[in-house]
Structure 1
Amino acid sequence: MKFERIYCHRPNKLIGSFIEVQIEENDFPYVVDLLPTAQSHIIYFFSDVKHEIKINNKSFFNKGLVISGQSYRSYQFIPKKPVRVFVANFSATTLHKVLGKQMSSITDSHIPLSEFCNEFYEQINPLFNPDKTAKEIALDFESLMYDLPKIDNKNVNYVDIAVDLIHQKKGRITVDELLEFLTISQKNLEIQFKKIVGLTPLKYIKLYRFWHLMKAYESNKIDFNQALEFYNYYDLSHFNRDFKLFMKIKPSEYVKRDNFLIRKYLTI
């Protein structure tokens, strides 16, 4: 397997990074559990066959351009043959700003981009020339994203502030604490957050906290015992419940697995 991460040419709040993964013949049979990163994604499968993503026991089969909404739990990638996959990782509010769509409609989904927003599909599909390198595609994608018009209103601004606070606190914050910084009711925040991001504020907080914990663990900055206190877990039982909620396995099972792809996209 080959893995490459490409960072944006200039810092921005639209795109987190780009990833290219190449699954090769000697990787098969191949099934991998992926941890959601609290982002939405545009994915391109350079393939003539459809590949499987399984979320909550529901399978999505896709090739070409795919849009991926937020997911709350780990999901499986099951390629059917060797494949090159390019992924654009977007900040939580980016796709709503660009597409003007309700992101909760594609939560826990991987669907053809042409079905969700054909106009955007027509704009970006020409970027994916198989003769281009990942870095060339990423640079063209980044330039196109800067030039697109974007929604900017008070509800988007409220959600942007909330997301920034969650990130600054590494998920160690409550919804009540978020509201101290916002002139918006809890009910309205929950409605707008789910519409713009795809998850409720509470689910996003819990997911981001766990994602950040796993990032620290896979970067060898912290072990699971240290994580209990730093990430505000009451006790080991509380941590184990969250771990199984997000990863669908126990921590003791996780450490015995080959987590190459998760480790790569969490630590690079």
Structure 2
Amino acid sequence: MNYKQQQPSSELSHIIKSFWMIDSGQDATINRQKIIPDGYPEMIFHSADSYRTTIHGVWQLQDRDLIAGQITNYFYLENTGVTKMFAIKFQPWALTVLFGIDMATITDTVITIDHSLLKVLSPIKQIAIQDDHTFEDKVTDIENWLITYVDTITYTLQKGIRATECMIESQGKLGLTEMRKQVDISERSLERFFKRHIGLSPKRYYRILRFSNVFNLVQEKGFKWSDVVYLGGFYDQSHFIKNFKEFTGEEPSNYGFEEETMANFFLKK
């Protein structure tokens, strides 16, 4: 499986977290993958066979053009044949700012891009599914379209966006009270912003950020679990293990951090 990821240009970093692709070539071997929360919504375009997924305990075949909202727990994803995916991982607030999506309605959900939105996104889709373009060329062309589109958007929620940025920058370790003071945003305003623009409560989002940072910490040479617990901002080892198991279903010592999986690809910076 060929995985590629690219960071956006500085002009789009406030909207885009990254671009990524997965390509299995002609290999149609069926592989079941565990997907775990990372705190970012995505837009995904398939140009080969579809995937099926089980988020709420029932396997369902996905459509080819998708939006994945925030997830609060792990779920499983399985290919049905050859894999060719191109995706945009957005900043947490971006789908609401750009397209008016109420993120609370798609939490723990992967939805088909509806006809009206797909009409707007048609240039992106056409670029994403082209077989004669390299990944890097697709990113360049899509960025050019997005830069023009973003110029038409007016931002009116700077405090909420800045609050989310503070959470991400602190990797889930800055207390909510302190963060609200820094940004000068009330608890009610923050909760309201998060419900519509993120799809999670601020506390839940903090926990996902703190969990996902573990994947960076374990890449340090000769890391110790005690260091991960301390540097990750967990109260103690039992708190760390409980948090990790909640989002992965496994204890950290049993998790395959070095395996080539979608989850590791997405979470390792």
TM-score under structure 2 normalisation?
0.88
Counterparts of 1:31-180 in structure 2, within 5 Å, are: 31-47=32-48, 49-114=49-114, 117-128=117-128, 129-148=130-149, 149-153=152-156, 156-180=157-181
Q: CA deviation at 1:82?
A: 1.5
Q: CA deviation at 1:213?
A: 1.7
Cα distance change, pair 208–116 in 1 and its aligned pair in 2 (3 A): farther
Unpaired runs of at least 5, structure 1: none
Cα distance change, pair 116–42 in 1 and its aligned pair in 2 (3 A): farther
Counterparts of 1:207-218 in structure 2, within 5 Å, are: 207-218=208-219
1:19, 1:28 → 2: CA distance? 21
Confirm whether residue 262 of structure 1 aligns to residue 253 of structure 2. no
| RMSD of aligned Cα (Å) | 2.3
Superimposed CA distance per residue, residues 114-138 of structure 1 (whole angstroms, 9 cap, x where no aligned partner): 2583443334322232322211211
1:198, 1:150 → 2: CA distance? 21
Q: What secondary structure, in the 3-state scheme, does the structure 2 residue paired with 1:17 have? A: strand
One-letter identity of the residue aligned with 1:184: I
Q: Is the 8 A contact 1:174 1:202 kept in 2?
A: no
Tell me how many residue pairs correspond in the alignment. 265
Q: What secondary structure, in the 3-state scheme, does the structure 2 residue paired with 1:181 have? A: helix
Q: Is the 8 A contact 2:215 2:268 kept in 1?
A: no
Cα distance change, pair 14–102 in 1 and its aligned pair in 2 (3 A): same
Q: What secondary structure, in the 3-state scheme, does the structure 2 residue paired with 1:101 have? A: coil
User: What is the percent sequence identity of the aligned residues?
Assistant: 19
Q: Which residue of 2 aligns with 1:228?
A: 229
Q: CA deviation at 1:188?
A: 2.4
Q: Is the 8 A contact 2:33 2:261 kept in 1?
A: no
Cα distance change, pair 235–258 in 1 and its aligned pair in 2 (3 A): same
TM-score under structure 1 normalisation?
0.89
Q: What secondary structure, in the 3-state scheme, does the structure 2 residue paired with 1:36 have? A: coil
1:226, 1:120 → 2: CA distance? 47
